[in-house]
A and B are shown apart, each in its own frame.
Chain A
């Protein structure tokens, strides 16, 4: 289950070679930071918590049994640490009130003229407009290509909860990013 690459570095760290942990931090730091940021919404806080996540992971590396991917184990620590450090209540059930069917938040200027940096801003704002937990789910699903099972393991949500949240978040993103999506679809079709 654990990639051979990760397993080699994990074993080296367990054997006392602390500097091998650099490889694991380098590989996963952006995704861990993304998970933390989606919940905390403050760059400085998210970076502090992301550091704590890696420290926790290092200290508890012996308890990683390799039954799941290393990334899943690490993101679970990230999710729980960020949740415990935030005001976000761990979700039990989905509330419809969380979702407000919003139209496009702003008219996109000339889509064709948008630079990649501007597109990035729109996409990040659209994800930031989602409820915190859903932002995490969307990030795990699209950025790390986690499947529903892995997302369940990371977040502790049940299967239907994950599926419904993902569906609704996607729906909201499609509305918010309508202009950008149409432009992107033209290049796909």
Chain B
């Protein structure tokens, strides 16, 4: 207790605006440095710089990164549709829990045959051709949208 009082008694106090003055000095110094550097620190290129850059760019175009024309999402959708169809057909053709792998395979084939047989052999050609045509149309649409040739 008495030690603290001794310490306090021994301390001298600066003027009331000591902190304010000090901070003003520090801020002024910072502003002065900022002003000097921003006024005199920036270097300038030669007059021919811009022309030099543009000359080198003449005839060049921005590199376009490779992007698949058909997005992954579309492929995922196509895959999901076919997987779903295959699963649906395999389970719909299942006759009982004791069916072996061969039987199930046969039933899947039968299901596929039943699916296509109704409309005849043309569907084997027509459906894949239609699918390919749709994909090509999609491809064309994306190309046009992106301005690709």
A residues bordering B, Cβ < 8 Å?
Answer: 13-16, 18-19, 21-22, 25-26, 29-31, 33-34, 37, 47, 50-51, 54-55, 58-63, 116, 119-120, 122-124, 127, 138-139, 142-143, 170, 173-174, 177, 180-181, 184-185, 188-189
In the complex, whether B114 has a CB less than 8 A from a CB of chain A is no
- The answer to whether B41 and A51 touch across the interface, beta carbons within 8 angstroms, is no
Cβ contacts under 8 Å, B44 to chain A: 30, 33
Contact A174 B45 (CB under 8 A): no
Interface centre among B31, B34, B58, B62 (most CB of A within 10 A): B62
Given contacts A22-B50, A33-B43, 4 further A-B contacts (CB under 8 A): A50-B49, A116-B40, A181-B29, A184-B33
Q: Say yes or no: B62 contacts A119, CB within 8 Å.
A: no
Give the docked Cα–Cα distance between A188 and B31 (Å): 8
Asked if residues A174 and B29 are in contact (CB atoms below 8 Å), the reply is yes
Query: Is the C-beta of B72 less than 8 angstroms from some C-beta in chain A?
Result: no
Nearest 6 pairs between A and B by C-beta?
Answer: A184-B32, A123-B40, A120-B40, A142-B37, A185-B32, A33-B45
Interface size on B, residues (CB 8 A): 35
Interface residues of B (CB under 8 A from A): 24, 28-46, 49-50, 52-54, 56-58, 60-65, 147
Q: Known: A18-B60, A62-B63. Is A34-B53 also a contact (CB below 8 A)? A: no
B28 touches A185 (CB 8 A): yes
Which residues of the other chain, A, contact B49 by a CB distance below 8 angstroms? 25, 29, 33, 47, 50-51
Kindly list chain A residues whose C-beta atoms are within 8 Å of the C-beta of B53: 25, 29, 51, 54-55
Q: Are A143 and B38 in contact (CB under 8 A)?
A: yes
> Are A124 and B41 neighbours in the complex by a CB distance under 8 Å?
yes
> What are 20 A-B pairs with beta-carbon distances under 8 A?
A13-B62, A18-B58, A18-B61, A29-B45, A29-B49, A29-B50, A30-B42, A37-B43, A47-B45, A47-B46, A51-B52, A51-B56, A54-B53, A59-B63, A62-B63, A124-B40, A124-B41, A184-B35, A189-B24, A189-B28
Which residue of chain A lies nearest to B49 when distances are taken between CB atoms in the complex?
A29
Cβ contacts under 8 Å, A61 to chain B: 62
Query: Which residues from chain B contact A15 at a C-beta distance below 8 Å?
Result: 147
Determine if B61 and A142 form an interchain contact, defined as CB atoms under 8 angstroms apart: no
A37 to B29, CA, bound (A): 26
- What residues on A are CB-neighbors of B57 within 8 Å? 18, 21, 55, 58
**B-chain residues with CB within 8 Å of residue A14 when the two chains form the complex:** 62
> What residues of B have a CB within 8 angstroms of the CB of A177 in the complex?
33, 36
Residues of A within 8 A of B38 (CB): 142-143
Q: With CB as the reference atom, state the residue of chain A lying closest to B54.
A: A22
Nearest Cβ distance between residue B2 and chain A, in whole angstroms?
A: 42
- Chain B, residue nearest A170 (CB): B33
Q: A113 to nearest B CB, angstroms?
A: 17
Q: Write out the residue numbers on chain A whose beta carbons fall within 8 Å of the beta carbon of B37.
A: 123, 127, 138-139, 142-143, 173
